Amino acid sequence: MTITADTLLAGWDRGLLTARDRVIDSPRVRERGRLVRASGLVLEIVGLRLPLGAHCWIEQIDGRDHAEAEVVGFSGRSLLLMPFAETTGLIPGARVWPVLGPPGSRTGAAKSMPVGPALLGRVLDARGRPLDGGPLPSDADHAALAGASINPLERAPIRNVLDTGIRAINALLTVGRGQRLGLFAGSGVGKSVLLGMMARFTAADVIVVGLIGERGREVKDFIDNILGEAGLARAVVVAAPADTSPLLRLQGADYATRIAEDFRDRGQDVLLIMDSLTRYAMAQREIALAIGEPPATKGYPPSVFARLPTLVERAGNGRNGGGSITAFYTVLTEGDDQQDPIADAARAILDGHFVLSRQLAEAGHYPAIDIEASISRAMTALIDATQLSRVQYFKRMFSRYERSRDLIAVGAYAAGSDPTLDEAIALHPQMESFLQQGMSERSDHHDAAAGLAALVAGNEATS
């Protein structure tokens, strides 16, 4: 056979390709990319082919540790990455390596996070690292961040009452195990205090708290003063405050949900508290806008509205006979605007919403739950007809009074002209004190139901 230049070159090519493949597949040698652009939060790299969600290390100057970043999008042949923490030492052309999974895998490491009972009483960040000073227990179980979804037809229905320890909720807005609710409120109207009361008083095996995107100072305050030692003992707290990257804020919420799922799969009844769902949505908005997704509804890109249900749907009951996750998500209604797009979306995907009213808080009425504006969609399946008629009677009397509140206040209402209103006026002081509750007072479900029955007794029949 004659050796031509062509066959020689083809042979070299084949040899080179085989050698290249061997090098790339070798676990000891990694592919490498280059940083070509940094604009705002987004880093653009070339030379790597990785799936969305894969992690990379990026070289930093001055001998700093490599920065870790996640692939959040791509454009043509370049990958768009977002770092997990603030980066200061990046330079044009910096080298980028994929964080490899098990040998042979080219898709990046699956995120494996600590979960399970060893975490009780602990405060962790969004990456599962302790924030409370102590080391992570060596016997902590680990699980992939993404939980397996449950076939909706296999989920146990919401059938059992959950005792929240809050009188107004237990009696008038009964919550069931596995229900997912929104706590809608503006700033400073008592969300944290109410959530803390629930965390301490609720009849649940485990409390998982996700503090997402709130001020750092609040995290400490919530743990020390609101949750307290007793609350923390049966709780796991995941904190991703406002100064962490949007990626970590998203991951913090996913991680808290994953911890709750793990306890549920162990057959336990979990109370998941997420403060706040709005900040979770804002983190997704930050990422989506940074990689060029167009804003749609009031500045929120569509991916935000796609992401909310995927988080919320993970809470709820497990399979029949298994555990449950009852979840409360706080939703910020800036300027008490109930029409905010996130509030709207949350109302549509949750099984009820409790509205905290600034007016009540300003009047010193705590918890400032607006009974008229709040609803628990599972309630009718949880309480009997007698209880339901008492609830309806209470709400009727309460609204009747509220509608005429101004008239009554200025003395323009002449007693006797409207028998229902007379009844509402007579009952009002009792209704007010029934709805109020001190921070350290617990009211169990039976006491609340009995209190409501006593309040309504004698009047129900006449209404």
Ligand X SMILES: Nc1ncnc2c1ncn2[C@@H]1O[C@H](COP(=O)(O)OP(=O)(O)OP(=O)(O)O)[C@@H](O)[C@H]1O
Interface positions with ligand X (CB under 6 A): 185, 187-193, 366-367, 438-439
Q: How far is the CB of 222 from ligand X (least distance, A)?
A: 9
| Binding characters for Mg ion, 91-110, by CB under 5 A (x = yes) | --------------------
Segment lying near Mg ion (by CB under 5 A), choices 142-150, 191-199, 293-301, 305-313:
191-199
Task: Return phi, psi of residue 44, to 5°.
Answer: -110, 130
C-beta of 174 vs 192, nearer to Mg ion: 192
Tokens (6 digits) for 421: 């209103």
Interface with Mg ion (CB under 5 A), residue from 78, 192, 244, 326:
192
Q: How far is the CB of 221 from ligand X (least distance, A)?
A: 8
Tokens (6 digits) for 69: 């970043």
Helices 246-265 & 302-312, crossing angle to 10 degrees?
A: 20
Residue nearest Mg ion, Cβ-based: 192
d(CA 125, CA 248): 9
Query: Using alpha carbons only, what angle is made at residue 222 by residues 246 and 120, rounded to the nearest 5 degrees?
Result: 85
| Binding characters for Mg ion, 148-187, by CB under 5 A (x = yes) | ----------------------------------------
C-beta of 195 vs 289, nearer to Mg ion: 195
Q: Which of Mg ion, ligand X, none sits in contact with 326, Cβ below 5 to 8 A by type?
A: none
Is residue 265 within 8 Å of residue 314, measured between CB atoms? no
C-beta of 96 vs 226, nearer to Mg ion: 226
C-beta of 83 vs 196, nearer to Mg ion: 196
d(CA 283, CA 255): 15
d(CA 446, CA 436): 17
d(CA 398, CA 357): 15
Q: How far is the CB of 188 from Mg ion (least distance, A)?
A: 8
b/e burial code for range 210-237 (CB count within 10 A of at least 16 → b): bbbbbeeebbeebbeebbeeebbeebbb
C-beta of 75 vs 433, nearer to ligand X: 433
Q: How far is the CB of 227 from Mg ion (least distance, A)?
A: 12
Three-state DSSP state, 405 = helix
Residues that bind Mg ion (CB under 5 A): 191-192
